[in-house]
Amino acid sequence: MSEVVISGTGLFVPPHTITNEELVTSYNGYVERFNAEHAAEIEAGTVKALTPSSAEFIEKASGIQRRYVMEKDGILDVTRMYPRFEPRGDDQISLMAEIAVDAAKKALAAAGKSPADVDAVICSASNMQRAYPAIAIEVQQALGAGGFGFDMNVACSAATFALEMAVNIVRAGTAKCVLVVNPEITSGHQEWKDRDCHFIFGDVCTATIVERADTATSADQWEVLGTQLATQFSNNIRNNFGYLNRSEDSDPKARDKTFRQEGRKVFKEVVPIAAAHIDSHLAKLGHHPTAVRRFWLHQANQSMNQLVVKKLIETEPTEDNAPLILNEFANTASAGSVIAFHRHRADLKPGDLGVICSFGAGYSVGSLVVRKR
């Protein structure tokens, strides 16, 4: 089989930032308004009073300090509490495709490639803007790439699952160069009115070039030694928004139509699943976790990442062997591990081993073991 490498990555960062302090000011304003409007029901015990939040609580619970978003005024508006996007006509590029093209151009430049070199595009994210036509095909057309494109969704593991697909496509000879884009506009599915999760997500888009080693020309190449995927069904992270909602005559703004999770259960169950997954993947390739120079993990929760790595190397992880980006970006769903890889790999030397791993709803876990060339 052909040797496959990651030869370039790109990152689109949205124009707006929301700090924890800004978010809390808005959220607490909403809480005060809600409690006042429902004072009688709260007193009667038919409605539960909402509890204010704090910036200190958010950082302690998650490690998050701020997040990037595509639009912030609607999110911070206590009468709205979700983004306010302008609708686009069918003759205009979609919002997801627009940010994907931006990240893709940066990844192509890093890899020393042109759109004409790309013969497959995969758009993989936790949510898709529409059912069809595929966002990937729109990105393909906007870039001027050839071949084929398709969309896929595996929640917070969407990027690593797509990278595995890209690696296999190249190894099979179906394509020589695959572009993977992960446009995560998570602000659209975030529940900004829920104290337990209103701070979790941020928007972003990553892009990765996967190609045959004998066609790669970039100075920064990472051989993909192996990929591994696993899923296990769980309702602990769920979003019921979908195209059948109308036929069910259900409320499109009901609480279950946005992100929700059982956070403690997720933490307790996913940490051992992710650690065991990485350990078994490395073992299949003849490596021990202590041989890994760097872990680029899914960026959902600081304590979760630290515990996963600690289980693997049996010592406290550091910013050097397990860098975090969620303090700046928050949880960017599938893009988090790719951002970590994009931002924190320049100092590694040829021969250094690394693991890119994501884990999330499903449950789903995806990993790539890579080696600096």
Strand intervals (E) in the chain: 4-12, 16-19, 66-69, 120-124, 148-152, 177-184, 204-212, 222-231, 237-238, 260-261, 294-297, 353-360, 364-372
Round to whole Å and give the CA distance between 223 and 210. 10
Please give the model's pTM, rounded to 2 decimal places.
0.96
CB 370 within 8 A of CB 225: yes
pLDDT at residue 158 greater than cutoff 80 = yes
Nearest to 100 by CA among 180, 44, 158: 180
pLDDT band at 2 (very low <50, low <70, confident <90, very high): confident
Round to whole Å and give the CA distance between 373 and 66. 35
- Burial-class residue 244 by CB neighbours within 10 Å (0-12, 13-18, 19+): exposed
**Single-letter amino acid, residue 344:** H
Which positions are annotated as active-site residues? 156
192-228 per-position pLDDT tens digit = 999 999 999 999 999 999 999 999 999 999 999 999 9
pLDDT at residue 1 greater than cutoff 90 = no
Round to whole Å and give the CA distance between 30 and 81. 8
Where do the domains of the chain lie, and which CATH numbers do they carry? 222-372 (3.40.47.10)
Nearest to 10 by CA among 128, 137, 131, 106: 106
Nearest to 219 by CA among 3, 8, 2, 4: 8
pLDDT at residue 180 greater than cutoff 90 = yes
CB 225 within 8 A of CB 14: no
87-127 per-position pLDDT tens digit = 999 999 999 999 999 999 999 999 999 999 999 999 999 99
Question: What does the DSSP 8-state code read for residue 240?
Answer: -
